[in-house]
Structure 1
Amino acid sequence: MDTARHRSAPNGLATSVARAGARQRRTEFRADLPGSGGWQRCSELLEDVARFEVWRKLLGEWLRERFGEAPDRTTAGYVMSWYLSVPAYAAALLMSHERRVPLLRPGELAFRLGNDRPHPDGIAVLGAEFYCLPDDPGAGGPAATVVADEHALAAVLRARYIAHAAKFIPVYAKTTRLGRRTLWAAATDALDNALWWVGRQDGDEAAGAAEAARVLDARHAPLTSASALRLSADGWTRRRESCCFSYLLPDESECAECPRICPR
């Protein structure tokens, strides 16, 4: 496939990335890599674990400036969740706004860390291929794989996301003392949260919750639960599957929906 030509096609994935990016303010969302600015492909981190160590060192410095301490589990938990948010948010944004699912391969996703806080503040979707519905304007193109309906598209999103997480987790597990269950719980949180965030930023949390319920309609192992979103008296909320370990910072306590204190 001539990737460059298909990416620039009027109905190509790059067009969808531009449209979806314009509808959100959470991060820079783009379909190419600038020549500078600290962007790195996900595959580069998975091939060189030292990059995770550099990231955690930057985070540790940031935490010490603000809290005076940077516990090892806290830096491990933050980087774990931040990395997983990259494929999760890319998938959620394109699914919700374009009804398209990119392949989410580590070599086809990149991100940039922010200057004010070492979290991903830019995401690039670099591939040309995507899954879509039969009525998609690009359905007849060579970059498109057509699926039957929205439930099939949700299943594809879940499978592509799990495939990416399955490459990340064994690599990252070697750099921390976090267990596989914790890492897959964080992967579950990242996807459930991303679908919710997209609905929230559109002013329709119920739509985000419905999208999450479609993608995470049950527990699909190795993910650790179905969507945990629920409507309470105070609005939409969810019990986390994983802990971010913020409570280890001075004068901090567990989040309200932390699994350490919130029963199932």
Structure 2
Amino acid sequence: MTMATGAATAGPAVTAASTLARTYLDLVASCEALNVRIASEASQALLDGAELTRSEKALDAFIDAEAGRIEERHRHVPRRDVAASRALHDYLWSVSLLMSGAWYLERRVPRIAPQDVRVDVAAAAFEIVPGSDFACLPDDPAAGLPGVRVVAHEEALRAELRASVAEHVGPLLTAVGPHARRRSRALWGMAADDLVSGVWYLGRVLGQEDRAVQAATELLPTAIPPFPGGADFRRLAGRDGRRHLTRTRLGCCMYYTLDAAQACSTCPRTCDVERLRRLEAAD
């Protein structure tokens, strides 16, 4: 029996999860520094983000693995609070960028629960199974899909992003805080920094730095609880008249304790003269 030619072949059904998976894959492909695997089902052998908030054993493994990486790379044993801060920074930056990146690329804000993130502590990598819960604008083609929430306008979508990040990271900040020897304001300062810097980084790798800085500034124009400060970008005038973008972190990622000569360019310890030197050297 011969099959009829020209018959339409149905493709896989478009769902909220498959739509979000494509966005995550585009994001990971664009961001070399984002060490995230997109999976169809969760790896049960890995810790999930919720375990870090309720199990001291899991949290110790998370911090110990970072301490081991620091010792290997920098040839010294870090203080416990430094390892905790560095591990926290990596988590905040990576998971926040999954949410902010989907917002920046597609104007969609996923709600990622801590249990939806798997942590490969040995490889300093993350895994996520895309869910069906995200917010979008009324004109989004995904607006009618099951699980998708429609919000009225851009500011409502920005509010969704701030709320999604805060809801996800809040329990982790509480759990890691004593190990990092940080209080609430400093911890939420780190969260704000990593939310803003992720958008900034994405814009730079896409050749859209000005657009990304504008987006990050609209996202956090000033302190919006629980975030204690805004994006606060500014420009430094170089010797050739060019004006270079910079900002000063609200919290500290503690990198300066690993390499005092190479504190982050946005660290409060890095003066504007040194920032300009680095920025001009990179051109």
Instruction: Provide TM-score, normalisation by structure 1.
Output: 0.84
- Distance change (3 Å), C-alpha of 1:191 and 1:10: same
Residue 25 (structure 1) aligns with: 31
Structure 1 residues 61 and 111: CA distance shift in structure 2, 3 A: closer
Is the contact between residue 109 and residue 126 of structure 1 (CA under 8 Å) also seen in structure 2?
no
2:213 paired with 1:209? yes
Identity across aligned pairs (percent)?
27
**Can you give the 5+ residue segments of structure 1 that lack an aligned partner in the other structure?**
1-7
**Secondary structure of the equivalent of 1:175?**
helix
- Of stretches 226-235 and 141-150 in structure 1, the one that deviates more from structure 2 is 226-235
Tell me which residue corresponds to 2:9: none
Change in 2 beyond 3 A, CA 1:238/1:32: farther
Larger-gyration structure (1/2): 2
Q: CA deviation at 1:113?
A: 4.5
Could you say if the C-alpha distance between residues 9 and 209 of structure 1 is closer, same or farther in structure 2, counting changes exceeding 3 Å? farther
SS at match of 1:101: strand
Q: Deviations over 1:70-129 (max 9, x none)?
A: 1223212201211212331111111011211111221223343464xxx33x44143211
C-alpha spacing 1:179/1:147, structure 2 compared with 1 (3 Å): same
Q: Which moved more, 1:24-33 or 1:89-98?
A: 24-33
The count of aligned residue pairs is: 251
Shift of 1:183: 0.8
* Deviation at residue 235 of structure 1 after TM alignment: 2.5
Q: What code does the residue aligned with 2:86 have?
A: Y
Partner of 1:176: 180
Question: Which runs of 5 or more residues in structure 2 are unaligned?
Answer: 1-11, 238-242, 273-283
Q: CA deviation at 1:260?
A: 4.2
CA–CA distance in structure 2, aligned partners of residues 262 and 179 of structure 1: 25
| CA RMSD between the two structures | 2.4
- Which of 43, 49, 57 is the equivalent residue of 2:56? 49
Q: CA deviation at 1:48?
A: 1.5
Cα offset for 1:191? 0.4
CA distance in 2, matches of 1:57, 1:252: 25
Q: Distance in 2 between matches of 1:40 and 1:9?
A: 31
Range with greater deviation from structure 2 (243-252 or 131-140): 243-252
Alignment partner, residue 247 of structure 2? 238
**Matching of residues 54-203 of structure 1 within 5 Å:** 54-65=61-72, 66-113=74-121, 115=123, 119-120=124-125, 122-203=126-207
- Cα deviation, 1:193-228, whole Å, max 9, x if unaligned, reads 111112112111111112111211221122111112
CA deviation string 1:163-186 (max 9, x = no partner): 112221111124332222221110
Cα separation, 1, equivalents of 2:56 and 2:91: 13
- Give the letter aligned to residue 236 of structure 1: L
| TM-score, normalised by the number of residues in structure 2 | 0.79
